[in-house]
Amino acid sequence: MKDFLSIIDCPAELLAELLELSASLKSLYKGGGNDLCLSGKTLAMLFEKPSLRTRISFHLAMTDLGGGAIYVKPEDIGGIGKREPVKDMARVFSRYVDGIMARTFEHGTVTELAEFATVPVINALTDWSHPCQAMADVLTIREHCGRIEGVRLAYVGDGNNVARSLAFACGKLGMRLIVASPAGYELDAETIEKVNQMAADSVRQTNEPGEAVAQADVIYTDTWVSMGQEDEKQKRQADFAGFQVNAGLVKAAPADVKIMHCLPAKRGFEITDEVTEMPNSIIYDQSENRLHFQRALLKKLMS
Ligand code: CP
Ligand code: NVA
């Protein structure tokens, strides 16, 4: 596989291999070792939206593996698809660097980059999906639940890019997902259908957060207002009332339920400060695992 654009396109065996590689590189680096497999190689990191975790963890993953990274802001290159066509950007990048990582609004931008680049292209979040996040999440779930197969995940909130990639990961890797969203913010029917065709009954949608968490091993949430939706902030905050992950909702779940959030979190909205800080919150392990998963991904695609 040349690119990493969406979990739905990846064979389950490749995802399993990436998880094994993430775990082995994690223990290698935690033990003070290294693997300089990307020595002399460079990753271009193109960001149309802000980022803390993705930017820092990809940069570090490249330098850990002996390579380098260049951060590219759209304003510096005259915008994406504005000063020149995306296909020309893809071709030119391919003459200079060994891989392209892109965070864009439209998913079509990363697929077009991948179509015309001769080097690997990685989706670092689009409006449609966030596959690197979902794979780091699965790694975190495996560490904390001791397994992936059969894990019950309750996602409470917006049926957005993060929810969609989690749904794909569940279908590929044998987890079960219940998404609880207010009416009008559900995960799209096409995603649910595709995932359930892949693995029957792996994803279900409800409008009742309490029902979603009742048997959950993990409660997961994400912002109600994704990047690019700032104009809808007030309406969204009103529409999502009742979908907050708070102590009351956590009480409706099994006592050992784990709490996850991809971050950045808007405390007091989709999640309370109290729940974020609970001992069963594994939110920062999730953030750390972005680095461990992406080292494995870069090694697999670029070495
Ligand atoms: N979770 C995540 O992708 O964070 P950033 O937007 O900070 O990269
Ligand atoms: N759904 C969020 C995820 C941020 C990592 C967004 O797209 O802004």
Residue 76 burial by CB count (10 A; 0-12/13-18/19+): exposed, middle or buried?
Answer: exposed
- Find the DSSP H helices in the chain: 12-30, 53-64, 86-96, 107-116, 131-145, 161-173, 189-198, 209-213, 233-239, 247-251, 273-276, 283-302
Instruction: Looking at the structure, tell me whether residues 34 and 163 fall in a common domain.
Output: no
Confidence at residue 243, expressed as pLDDT on a 0 to 100 scale: 98
Instruction: Looking at the structure, tell me whether residues 117 and 135 fall in a common domain.
Output: no
Residue 74 burial by CB count (10 A; 0-12/13-18/19+): exposed, middle or buried?
Answer: middle
Question: Is residue 99 included in any domain, yes or no?
Answer: yes
Q: CB within 6 Å of ligand 1 — which residues?
A: 51-54, 125, 133, 262-264
Confidence at residue 65, expressed as pLDDT on a 0 to 100 scale: 98
What three-state secondary structure class fits 8?
Answer: helix
For residue 155, name the pLDDT band (cuts at 50, 70, 90).
very high
Confidence at residue 157, expressed as pLDDT on a 0 to 100 scale: 98
Residues 47-106: pLDDT tens digits?
Answer: 999 999 999 999 999 999 999 999 999 999 999 999 999 999 999 999 999 999 999 999
For residue 262, name the pLDDT band (cuts at 50, 70, 90).
very high
What three-state secondary structure class fits 214?
Answer: coil
Confidence at residue 218, expressed as pLDDT on a 0 to 100 scale: 99
- Give the closest ligand to the alpha carbon of residue 236: 2
Residues 167-188: pLDDT tens digits?
Answer: 999 999 999 999 999 999 999 9
Return the best residue to mutate from 103, 106, 222, 240 for the ligand 2 pocket (most ligand atoms within 8 A of CB): 222
What three-state secondary structure class fits 174?
Answer: coil
Instruction: Looking at the structure, tell me whether residues 138 and 249 fall in a common domain.
Output: yes
Angle between helices 12-30 and 283-302 (to 10 degrees): 110
**Do 42 and 97 form a contact (C-beta atoms < 8 A)?**
yes
CA-to-CA separations, 180 to 85, 97, 183, 241, in angstroms, rounded: 39, 42, 9, 12
Question: Is residue 1 included in any domain, yes or no?
Answer: no
Confidence at residue 31, expressed as pLDDT on a 0 to 100 scale: 98
Instruction: Looking at the structure, tell me whether residues 298 and 276 fall in a common domain.
Output: no
Q: Which domain holds residue 65?
A: 7-130+287-302
Instruction: Give me the catalytic one of 53, 133, 217, 292.
Output: 133
Confidence at residue 255, expressed as pLDDT on a 0 to 100 scale: 98
Question: Is residue 137 included in any domain, yes or no?
Answer: yes
Instruction: Looking at the structure, tell me whether residues 279 and 163 fall in a common domain.
Output: yes
Residues 199-223: pLDDT tens digits?
Answer: 999 999 999 999 999 999 999 999 9
For residue 282, name the pLDDT band (cuts at 50, 70, 90).
very high
Instruction: Looking at the structure, tell me whether residues 210 and 227 fall in a common domain.
Output: yes
- In sequence order, the 6+-apart residues with CB closer than 8 A to the CB of 134 are 7, 162, 165, 166, 168, 169
Rounded mean pLDDT of the chain? 98
Residues 11-39: pLDDT tens digits?
Answer: 999 999 999 999 999 999 999 999 999 99
Question: Is residue 270 included in any domain, yes or no?
Answer: yes
What is the tally of structural domains in the chain? Answer: 2
Q: For residue 282, give both structure tokens.
A: 């594994």
Instruction: Looking at the structure, tell me whether residues 144 and 217 fall in a common domain.
Output: yes
What is the domain-level CATH number for residue 214?
Answer: 3.40.50.1370
Residues 89-145: pLDDT tens digits?
Answer: 999 999 999 999 999 999 999 999 999 999 999 999 999 999 999 999 999 999 999
For residues 219-239, average pLDDT: 98
Instruction: Looking at the structure, tell me whether residues 65 and 78 fall in a common domain.
Output: yes
Of the candidates 2, 192, 6, the one whose C-alpha atom is nearest the C-alpha of residue 107 is 6
Question: Is residue 2 included in any domain, yes or no?
Answer: no
Confidence at residue 100, expressed as pLDDT on a 0 to 100 scale: 98
Instruction: Looking at the structure, tell me whether residues 274 and 297 fall in a common domain.
Output: no
Confidence at residue 254, expressed as pLDDT on a 0 to 100 scale: 98
Provide, rounded to the nearest whole percent, the portion of the chain with pLDDT above 70.
100
| Beta bridge pairs of residue 103 | 47
Of the candidates 184, 182, 164, the one whose C-alpha atom is nearest the C-alpha of residue 172 is 164
Q: Is 226 in the pocket of ligand 2 (CB under 6 A)?
A: yes
Q: Is 262 in the pocket of ligand 2 (CB under 6 A)?
A: yes
Instruction: Looking at the structure, tell me whether residues 174 and 163 fall in a common domain.
Output: yes
Instruction: Looking at the structure, tell me whether residues 17 and 95 fall in a common domain.
Output: yes
Confidence at residue 208, expressed as pLDDT on a 0 to 100 scale: 98
Q: Which atom, in ligand 2's list, is nearest to the CA of 160?
A: 1
